Structure 1
Amino acid sequence: MAEFNSLEEDMIKVFKEVHRVKEKYGISSISIESNKYLERFHGSHGGKGNFMGEREHRYAIDSERHFMQVK
């Protein structure tokens, strides 16, 4: 339970930033996926103007690597 409480504190900060980005670009929905080899985001503007970006890192996470537009 202690792990969840600590994680929740960090996730609240993440979602505050997500909401700021959504407001800035007029995005109605956005999803974020992150795993060992891939980071991806996708979303839309009210069901129109769907978009997706992803970046792959095979050997090590590179936070400076740019996302490629997929959609």
Structure 2
Amino acid sequence: MDIDEISGFTQVENIKREFKRAIQQIERNAEVAGVEINAVATGCGGQTKTVVEEANAQINKNLEKIKAGSCD
């Protein structure tokens, strides 16, 4: 293994690590967004549950798309 191979491997590992951190941050943001959506939705009368479920479904769908694009 020469220096270029080591450098390339290190860069790949750094990218993977940053990608995993980004996914963790997105998951935390999704949790916070869910709480915020619930707080806003409480003003929608009897629609709270539906609004929250729809928002969570959209957040989860977007998160799965991002995870699917990861380079394991």
Q: Same fold (TM over 0.5)?
A: no
Greater share of helix residues, 1 or 2? 2
- TM-score bucket (shorter structure): 0.3 to 0.5
Q: Which has the larger radius of gyration?
A: 2
